[in-house]
Amino acid sequence: MATCSPGDYLIVPRNCHISVISALVLSGAVPKYIIPEYNSRWDIAGGITQLQLDETVKELEEDGKRVGAVLVTSPTYHGVCSNVQGIVSVCHPRGIPVIVDEAHGAHFRFHDSLPSTAIEQGADLAVQSMHKVLCSLTQSSMLHMAGDLVDVDKVSQCLQLLQSSSPSYLLLSSLDAARDQLSKNTNIFDEPLAIASETKDQLMRIPGISVLDLPCFASDFPAIDPLRITLSPSDLQLSGFEADDILYEDHQIVSELVGTRAVTFAVNLGTRVRDVEKLVQSAKHLSEKYFFANSSESMKENRVCGPLEKISVHITPREAFFTKKRRVRIEDSLGEICGELICPYPPGIPVLIPGEVVTHDSLSYLISVRHQGITISGAADAELNSILVCNL
């Protein structure tokens, strides 16, 4: 709202968090989506590239559209970082501010082995969730500003509009406590980084277990958060959901994030050596039970089609929000204009956004993850037997 007036374009990766769509509804900005690289083997979307952004900005400029801002998600929930510095180099000469959803990167500033922060790379605004890896209470976060492209008074006005007039001093004091902890312990991330590195090395030596790394993507992404450990059990003939259920029910291991083909774990300041040792031993048990048992079987195809590969935007999220709607059966929704935000959670990345055309790929993906037990957020019918579509 501080950067985009109604009708301005916000360039945003299509794997943005659900909260960005709410911001589009509130601001009246028009989204111009960039489709991030997608790895179908892992069912994981990466970041966006400098080249993608440059092409998108030029396309809008040629059409006479005004770009209010560019929003980047870096790192993603899986820890994949975009080249924010390169993105800034495209935007700043044109006077376009760069906003970074750095929710999962609040710890980057506090160790040389961690990726550079968005602000260090020249971003104008960066939002960080301090509770995800650092030690503040849930719902506490920080907004960082740099440079003069964004009006600080306008940001303050927007915060007053959106925030409560009765802030939680419990949350504010937890932010201060987290800041104090970091300022007094300059080597605080030495142990978590060593634990994460050793854990990845051990997991990669287990037959049938793969660990996500930069070579899994074709694009030249600069880094993956070393405190994120994402493993794939696909060679064990297990989905991410099946592996996650076994780890939880048989070994009492709780993951950070589960998907159709991968399970992600987060190492943080509270992680102990015995915690990751238990994870490694449990992964070995998975391998012993399923890898050798299925060694003679051919790899299951069970291909999951990326839900973000083909999208068609018919109206803006704001227009769709205020348009009258009707409920239709899920099988009758193909080709209709989606009227609600349908989002598997976690990680909170929408598969269908209000204003988008319901496609075969999006329906197939949603039905697949629903059958595997993942929670669907945003839809009025959580079972997805029906969805709301716009009356157009």
pTM of the predicted model over 0.95: no
Say if residue 300's pLDDT is above 60: no
Residue 227 located in a structural domain: yes
Say if residue 177's pLDDT is above 50: yes
pLDDT digits (tens, 9 = 90+) for 233-252: 999 999 999 999 999 999 99
Q: Taking each helix axis as running N to C, give the angle between helix 240-251 and helix 273-286, from 0 to 180 degrees, rounded to the nearest 10.
A: 120
User: Do 87 and 36 fall within a single domain?
Assistant: yes
* Phi, psi (deg, nearest 5) at residue 54: -60, -45
**Of residues 33, 29, 332, 328, the one with CA closest to residue 340:** 328
- Distance (Å, rounded) from C-alpha 4 to C-alpha 70? 10
The whole-number pLDDT of residue 262 equals: 95
Chosen domain end from 184, 208, 233: 184
Given pLDDT bands bounded at 50, 70 and 90, which one contains residue 374? confident
User: Do 255 and 361 fall within a single domain?
Assistant: no
pLDDT digits (tens, 9 = 90+) for 36-88: 988 889 989 999 999 999 999 999 999 999 999 999 999 999 999 999 999 99
The whole-number pLDDT of residue 189 equals: 97
Tell me, what CATH number does 52's domain have? 3.40.640.10
How confident is the model over 98-117, as a mean pLDDT?
97
Say if residue 33's pLDDT is above 80: yes
User: Do 256 and 339 fall within a single domain?
Assistant: no
User: What is the CB neighbour count within 10 angstroms for residue 109?
Assistant: 14
Range(s) of the domain holding residue 134: 9-184
Q: With helix as H, strand as E and coil as C, how does the chain read?
A: CCCCCCCCEEEEECCCCHHHHHHHHHHCCEEEEECCCEECCCCEECCCCHHHHHHHHHHHHHCCCCEEEEEEECCCCCCEECCHHHHHHHHHHHCCCEEEECHHHCCHHHCCCCCCCCCCCCCCEEEEECCCCCCCCCCCEEEEECCCCCCHHHHHHHHHHHCCCCCCHHHHHHHHHHHHHHHHCCCCCHHHHHHHHHHHHHHHCCCCCEECCHHHCCCCCCEECCCEEEEECHHHCCCHHHHHHHHHHHHCCCCCEECCCCEEEECCCCCCHHHHHHHHHHHHHHHHHHHCCCCCCCCCCCCCCCCCCCCCECCCHHHHHHCCEEEEEHHHCCCCEECCCEEEECCCCCCECCCEECCHHHHHHHHHHHHCCCEEECCCCCCCCEEEEECC
Q: Which residue has the tokens 């180099």?
A: 89
- Distance (Å, rounded) from C-alpha 87 to C-alpha 331? 40
User: Do 339 and 280 fall within a single domain?
Assistant: no
Mean pLDDT of the chain: 92
User: Do 161 and 265 fall within a single domain?
Assistant: no
Chosen domain end from 184, 211, 241: 184
Q: How far is CA 303 from CA 143, 197, 306, 356, in A?
A: 39, 30, 9, 24
* Percent of the chain at pLDDT exceeding 90: 79
User: Do 157 and 210 fall within a single domain?
Assistant: no
The upper half-sphere exposure of residue 386, i.e. CA atoms within 13 Å in the direction of its Cβ, equals 9
pLDDT digits (tens, 9 = 90+) for 302-356: 333 455 667 888 999 999 999 999 999 998 999 999 999 998 876 677 899 999 9
Residue 1 located in a structural domain: no
Query: Domain count of the chain?
Result: 3
